[in-house]
Amino acid sequence: MKVLVTEPINEKGIDLLKEHGFEVVNGTGIDPETLVREGKDCDGILTRNAHLTGEIMDQCPKLKVISMHGVGVDCIDVEAATKRGIQVTNAASSNKRAVAEYTIGLILMLAKGSIDYNNEFKEGNMEVRKRLGENVSGKTLGIIGMGNIGTQVAKMAAYGLNMRVLGYNRHIESPEKLDYATLVPDMDRVIREADFLSLHLPGSASTRHMIGERELSLMKPTAYLVNTGRGEVVDEDALIRILREGKIKGAALDVFEGNLPKADNPLLHMSNVIVTPHTAAFTVEALERMAYQAALGVVEVLEDKPVTYPVNQLTNSFEDNQKVSLVMDYYRYEFGSSV
C-alpha cells in the first residue's frame, strides 16, 4: 500500500511507515492538482499543511486515512472525510509540552521586558535598566481553552510560577476548584480578572473572533494577551485598536489571522507586542513525536488496528457516516474541537 507524505517530516515517521511495509510517496507540492496527481493511487495521506477537501478525496478512490502532522485539523474537511468513510487522525499529544513551555516563555518575556532589554542594550542604551519588569508570582493567569495544552500551561504556571490560574469551561454550572486551577463557566470573569490572558482554542466557526472588541475591552489596562492557539480566534482589527488606545498593556502572538501576517500588519511594528512566526510547537522533540504519531495513525488504520488518536468516528455504512457527520457538524459548531 502507498502513503503520500505531502511535505517533509522527521525521519522517525518515515521509518515507521517503511517498517510496516508501506511505500512512501514524497509529495512535491500541496496545490490541489499535485495532491490529486500524487494521491490518486494512495491508501493514506500524511500532511502538515495541505488543504484536503471533499473534491480532492473524491479523486483519491483508494484513500482510507488522512493523518495530520500536528493537533489542529483546520486544513482537513473532516466532515467530508467522515461522509466518505475516511478515517482522520492526528498527533494529539505530540506538542502539548512544547507549546506550553513556549507560552510560559512569552508570559515571562512580557512581564520582564526581556525583548526591550536585549534590543536596547545591544544599541548601547544603559538607560533601559530604568524600565522595571514585574513578577508573575501571585498574578492571575486566565486561560481560554482548557484542553491538553491549556491544562499543561495551567500546571506549569501554578506549580512552577506560583500563579493563580482561572480557566474557562463552558460545560460546568459552577466553579470547580482543582489543585492547579479554578475552572469557571463565565468567560467574562476570566477575562476581567486575568493579568495574563492565554488563548488555547481550536480554529472553528464557533471560535472565530471569540475574542473581539467587547472581550478585549473587559481586560485590565495592565493586562497582557497571549495567543499560541489559532489566529482567527482574535479579531485582529479590534486588538490593534485596543493596543493603540492603551487599553491593555501588550500582547504576545505566535499566530495571526490568515496564518502569517502581511509585512504592513501594525502588530509587527508595535513596541508592546511580541510576535513569532507560528513556531510554538517547533522543537526537535515535538517534531519527532508529531511525525511518529501521525505515521502511527496511518499504520493503525491501514492495518485495521484500534486508532490511538482518532479525530472522527466512523461506522460501517455510508448512511450512518452521514449521520455521524451531521452530529459532528453540530458538535464543532457548539463546542469547538479539543486542543
Q: Which three cell numbers stand for residue 227?
A: 495567543
pLDDT band of residue 323 (cuts 50, 70, 90) is very low
pLDDT at 202: 87
pLDDT in tens, 143-153: 999 999 999 99
What is the pLDDT at residue 338?
35
Question: Is the distance from CB of 255 to CB of 200 less than 8 angstroms?
Answer: no
Q: Is the pLDDT of residue 326 over 60?
A: no
Decide: 231 and 257 in contact? Cβ < 8 Å. yes
CA dihedral 89, 94, 99, 102 (to 10 degrees): -150
Long-range contacts of 260-266 (CB under 8 A, 24+ apart): 265/236, 266/240
pLDDT at position 73: 92
- Residue pair 65/43 in contact (Cβ under 8 Å)? The answer is yes
- pLDDT at site 110: 98
Across-strand partners of 23?
2
Residue 339: per-residue pLDDT: 35
The pLDDT-based confidence of 316 (bands split at 50, 70, 90) is low
Q: Domains of the chain by range and CATH?
A: 2-94+284-335 (3.40.50.720), 96-275 (3.40.50.720)
**Which grid cell is 324?**
455521524
Section 305-334 average pLDDT? 64
- Please say whether the beta carbons of 183 and 172 come within 8 A: yes
Contact 75, 101 (CB under 8 A): no
Tell me what the pLDDT averaged over the chain comes to: 93
**pLDDT band for position 333 (50/70/90)?**
very low
Give this prediction's pTM. 0.86
20-63 confidence digits (pLDDT tens): 999 999 999 999 999 999 999 999 999 999 999 999 999 999 99
**328, 80 in Cβ contact below 8 A?**
no
310 class by beta-carbon count within 10 Å (0-12 exposed, 13-18 middle, 19+ buried): middle
